[in-house]
Chains A and B, each alone.
Chain A
């Protein structure tokens, strides 16, 4: 008897939670199918008089180049950051050099740097290396800002990894490099995946640096979405449609990476 009350309460809580979590998505979809004057009416919950799927066509035309740009930039920056993060994290957790402690502190604090604080020196740096208005410049900027986080995330994971695997391999004569790539990394797949997801999302959604260092050729999607809405005309419908279309990329990315996530364990051990 007690159990079913708890169950109902839990279900209610779950339902409210789901509502709260999914309501914004619903509003995005509804708004994307309206016309500007309907949006002005602020009937957010109700659909418009007609469902204007042509908004999506228009939005796609406006945004497809940016989606490609963002994919290239974010994908490359994530891959590079995660890669170096893995290396760096391994260093911080396994190599007990004199410099490890101070470097570790610096790296961790480095995660706290707000983008606004480094925007100006970053642009100056990019200008001197003549990379300022290119894909490479943007990618490098994001890598610079995300390697600390990647290193810390991977480092914390490696710390929790028991050393027996590596020690036995070392006894067998393998070098640290070999151990890292052949033995440790495969086991660290879930950590790589989590790190990649986090960094991907941070970069994909970043606005300020994308705004400053991009050109009309390299406009990432965050900047493009702001453009689509416009300064004076507030075209929310197109903006929402474009946002939905562009969100498919990160979602697909997440979906693809899930595979490596699940394989990491004796799956189903918790099945009640």
Chain B
């Protein structure tokens, strides 16, 4: 380790370098993180306050709103739904993206690859307000796009009640999530495919006569752990924070079957004016995030810092 020495010119130069290192690498990160956490602390504090109504009320109220929150059945439904989102949303996206990214790589650098890769991202380039509306039209049971198409193809038996059926609504919403995030997932995976060593290994394997699938599982997968990790955390975060899809397509309905924590938080804070309750829900989201984050953190810490 470099020591902050003084007197000796080489150490002096190291000191100055150290200052510039601090300024450039450390301070900005610290600055932004500090402000962000100031806002997080505010949220945590408000969850213990008495803020209901439009104007801020910061007087201490203890666990009052937590008690209320846990007594509402809606909270429990939300947590269950969020967990469903986490499991059913994240893993399929990962797998589908993996196969598709690999498929695109195999297909090679033909003309138009850029265009294809750009088009893959089109779901993310249109505002969710529009894509959400479109998907709610896709899912309408009587005249919606999917059922109409099935009828046209004489496949009426496949028709579904989609999001108007409380039992299956969540899964149809998750399908939208997958549709939205596939593009990103493919991009990230392709970025990790493109490291030079991996390319060399794959080339070697191909020369040795390994099949495509074999190459995927034996060689590529173990070596893109970093990329998969990034992708996984990105998807987990998006699934935990999901709001837009629920807001536009079902508004939490029918009943509370598609309600999620972030949506309940929005309603509580801004429509019911129960800001403290909203803060409690935000804290629950943090807690779940923390539980999720701990394995990732431990893993990364082990790898990075030992």
Complex Cα spacing A105 to B304, Å: 13
Let me know if A168 is at the binding interface, CB within 8 A.
no
B196 contacts A117, C-beta separation under 8 Å: no
B29 contacts A113, C-beta separation under 8 Å: no
- Separation in Å of the A90 CB from the closest CB of chain B? 6
Complex Cα spacing A42 to B187, Å: 35
Let me know if A152 is at the binding interface, CB within 8 A.
yes
Cβ of A92: which chain B residues have Cβ within 8 Å of it?
29, 304
Let me know if A93 is at the binding interface, CB within 8 A.
yes
- Separation in Å of the A33 CB from the closest CB of chain B? 14
Selected contact of B21 from candidates A44, A107, A176, CB within 8 Å: A176
B199 contacts A262, C-beta separation under 8 Å: no
Contact with B along A87-123 (1 / 0, CB 8 A): 1101111011100110111111111111111101110
Given contacts A204-B127, A250-B124, 11 further A-B contacts (CB under 8 A): A88-B32, A90-B25, A91-B25, A114-B241, A118-B43, A147-B29, A198-B234, A225-B127, A225-B130, A269-B202, A270-B203
Let me know if A243 is at the binding interface, CB within 8 A.
yes
B36 contacts A113, C-beta separation under 8 Å: yes
The secondary structure that dominates the B interface is: helix
Question: How many residues of chain A are within 8 Å of chain B by beta carbon?
Answer: 101
Complex Cα spacing A42 to B119, Å: 27
Cβ of B202: which chain A residues have Cβ within 8 Å of it?
269-270
Partner-binding segment picked from B61-69, B161-169, B249-257, B284-292: B284-292
Cβ of B217: which chain A residues have Cβ within 8 Å of it?
none
A91 contacts B243, C-beta separation under 8 Å: no
Nearest to B234 among chain A residues (CB) is: A198
Partner-binding segment picked from B73-81, B87-95, B274-282: B274-282
Counted as pairs of residues, one from A and one from B, with CB atoms less than 8 Å apart, the total is 293
Selected contact of A197 from candidates B145, B187, B203, CB within 8 Å: B187
Contact with A along B108-139 (1 / 0, CB 8 A): 11000111011101111111111101110110
Complex Cα spacing A204 to B110, Å: 30
Let me know if B296 is at the binding interface, CB within 8 A.
yes
Complex Cα spacing A95 to B119, Å: 39
- Separation in Å of the B261 CB from the closest CB of chain A? 8
Complex Cα spacing A77 to B293, Å: 26
Cβ of B304: which chain A residues have Cβ within 8 Å of it?
92-93, 104, 159
Give me the 8 closest cross-chain CB pairs, A-B, nearest first.
A112-B289, A88-B29, A117-B282, A250-B125, A91-B25, A160-B226, A243-B130, A265-B194
Cβ of B184: which chain A residues have Cβ within 8 Å of it?
197-198, 201
Selected contact of B43 from candidates A104, A121, A144, A159, CB within 8 Å: A121
Nearest to B124 among chain A residues (CB) is: A201
- Separation in Å of the B24 CB from the closest CB of chain A? 6
Let me know if A254 is at the binding interface, CB within 8 A.
yes
A111 contacts B233, C-beta separation under 8 Å: yes
- Separation in Å of the B110 CB from the closest CB of chain A? 9
Let me know if B206 is at the binding interface, CB within 8 A.
yes
> Which of A103, A105, A149 has most chain B Cβ within 10 Å?
A105
10 A-B pairs with CB atoms under 8 Å apart are A24-B135, A24-B179, A43-B143, A109-B290, A116-B262, A148-B33, A149-B237, A191-B191, A207-B129, A247-B122
Known: A23-B145, A152-B233, A159-B304. A103 touches B33 (CB 8 A): yes
- Separation in Å of the B241 CB from the closest CB of chain A? 5
A112 contacts B237, C-beta separation under 8 Å: yes
B32 contacts A42, C-beta separation under 8 Å: no
Let me know if B26 is at the binding interface, CB within 8 A.
yes
A27 contacts B134, C-beta separation under 8 Å: yes
A265 contacts B199, C-beta separation under 8 Å: yes
Cβ of B128: which chain A residues have Cβ within 8 Å of it?
205, 207, 222
Complex Cα spacing A256 to B270, Å: 39
- Contacts of A257-272 to chain B: CB distance below 8 A: 258-259, 261-262, 264-272
A24 contacts B134, C-beta separation under 8 Å: yes
Let me know if B272 is at the binding interface, CB within 8 A.
no
Selected contact of A95 from candidates B25, B42, B135, CB within 8 Å: B25
Complex Cα spacing A120 to B40, Å: 11
